[in-house]
């Protein structure tokens, strides 16, 4: 019976059909053919369903490293069969699922290659520990587009107050953290002055706080160097920090 089910699964998968569903450990498992890769963390499968794979995130279209992540994903899954462990839908109507190609977890590989960040809200989500470990290894070895800079030796360092010119770029910036403040969901590292007179912010979302010593308090009044994608919020540049390895305290 198991061999017959496997035979049917392979038959439908390789014929490009999408109608294979079965329950396993509480998840709905689907096999589907990828018809288009939209970007590094979104693709479309047979029938027009848009899938947002879970566990990782890439930079947005137009930002540095987005093109590299998209090309990497296209080379591996475009017009290929993927396995989806479905968990639901997001607010945009996209299917949320852990995605696999040839039994390889796509997110783990992209994080390992320095093309994607870990991305999660629920600390009980699958694979978090392994994703975090792979991400830290990538940062430490300066791997891939996201982590190519060495925080110890990087020469192209920009002062945080000049970071507006770096929006959408992967950069290394440095400055003094004058204030560490918290809301229920976010920790803010405000540079060179206290809010609202600061010129730059390091942002740590609640899901990632445990990856920072003392929830970031140790950086107050320290001059630090950080690496990441520079974005802008309310007219001021910022970098979202997911791990303490993105930070170096300067002597």
Q: How does pLDDT run across 119-148, given as a tens digit for each residue? A: 997 777 899 999 999 999 999 999 999 999
249 strand-pairing partners: 224
State the Cα–Cα distance between residues 160 and 176, nearest whole angstrom. 9
Residue 28 has pLDDT above 70, yes or no: yes
pLDDT confidence band for 114 (50 / 70 / 90)? very high
The label of the residue with tokens 């392979």 reads 10
Rounded to whole angstroms, how far apart are CA atoms 23 and 167? Answer: 44
Compute the average pLDDT of residues 27-39: 96
How far from the centroid of its chain's Cα atoms is residue 94's Cα?
Answer: 17
What percentage of the chain has pLDDT greater than the value 70?
90
Nearby residues of 203 by Cβ (< 8 Å), 6 or more positions away: 186, 187, 188, 189, 238, 239, 240, 241
Query: So where are the chain's domains?
Result: 2-140, 157-249
Cα dihedral 231, 233, 235, 241 in deg (nearest 10): -50
- Residue 97 tokens, joined: 């699922």
Return the higher-pLDDT residue of 123 and 12.
123
Enter the DSSP assignment of 170: E
Using CA atoms, how far apart are residues 26 and 9, in angstroms rounded to an integer?
A: 19
Q: Does domain 2-140 have CATH number 3.90.1150.10?
A: no
Q: What is the pLDDT, as a whole number, of residue 4?
A: 42
**pLDDT of 11 over the 80 cut:** no
Pick the residue with more confidence: 8 or 137? 137
Question: Which has more confidence, 3 or 132?
Answer: 132
The string of pLDDT tens digits covering residues 65-79 is 999 999 999 999 999
Give the pLDDT of residue 21.
Answer: 55
Band the pLDDT of 16: cuts 50, 70, 90: very low
Alpha-carbon span 152 to 206, nearest angstrom? 27
CATH architecture of 157-249: Beta Barrel (2.40)
pLDDT tens readout for residues 78-100: 999 999 999 999 999 999 999 99
State the greatest distance between any 2 C-alpha atoms of the chain, in Å, as a whole number: 68
pLDDT value at position 26? 80
User: What confidence tens digit (pLDDT) does each residue in 178-223 have?
Assistant: 999 999 999 999 999 999 999 999 999 999 999 999 989 999 999 9
User: Is the pTM higher than 0.85?
Assistant: yes
């Amino acid at each position: 019976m198991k061999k017959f089910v496997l035979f049917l699964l392979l038959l439908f998968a390789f014929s490009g059909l999408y109608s294979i569903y079965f329950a396993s450990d509480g998840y709905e498992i689907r096999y589907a053919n990828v018809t288009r890769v939209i970007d590094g963390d979104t693709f479309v499968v047979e029938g027009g369903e848009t899938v947002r794979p879970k566990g990782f995130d890439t930079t947005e279209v137009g930002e540095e490293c987005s093109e590299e992540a998209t090309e990497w994903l296209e080379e591996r899954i475009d017009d290929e069969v993927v396995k989806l462990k479905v968990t639901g839908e997001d607010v945009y109507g996209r299917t949320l699922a852990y995605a696999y190609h040839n039994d390889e977890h796509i997110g783990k590989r992209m994080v390992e290659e320095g093309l994607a960040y870990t991305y999660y809200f629920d600390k009980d989500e699958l694979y978090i520990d392994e994703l975090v470990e792979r991400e830290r290894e990538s940062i430490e070895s300066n791997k891939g587009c996201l982590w190519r800079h060495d925080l110890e030796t990087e020469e192209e360092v920009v002062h945080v107050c000049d970071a507006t010119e770096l929006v959408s770029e992967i950069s290394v910036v440095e400055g003094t953290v004058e204030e560490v403040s918290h809301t229920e969901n976010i920790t803010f590292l405000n540079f060179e002055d206290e809010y609202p007179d600061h010129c730059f912010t390091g942002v740590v979302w609640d899901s990632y706080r445990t990856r920072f010593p003392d929830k970031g308090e140790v950086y107050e009044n320290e001059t630090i160097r950080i690496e990441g994608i520079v974005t802008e919020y309310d007219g001021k540049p910022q970098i979202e920090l997911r791990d303490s390895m993105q930070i170096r305290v300067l002597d």
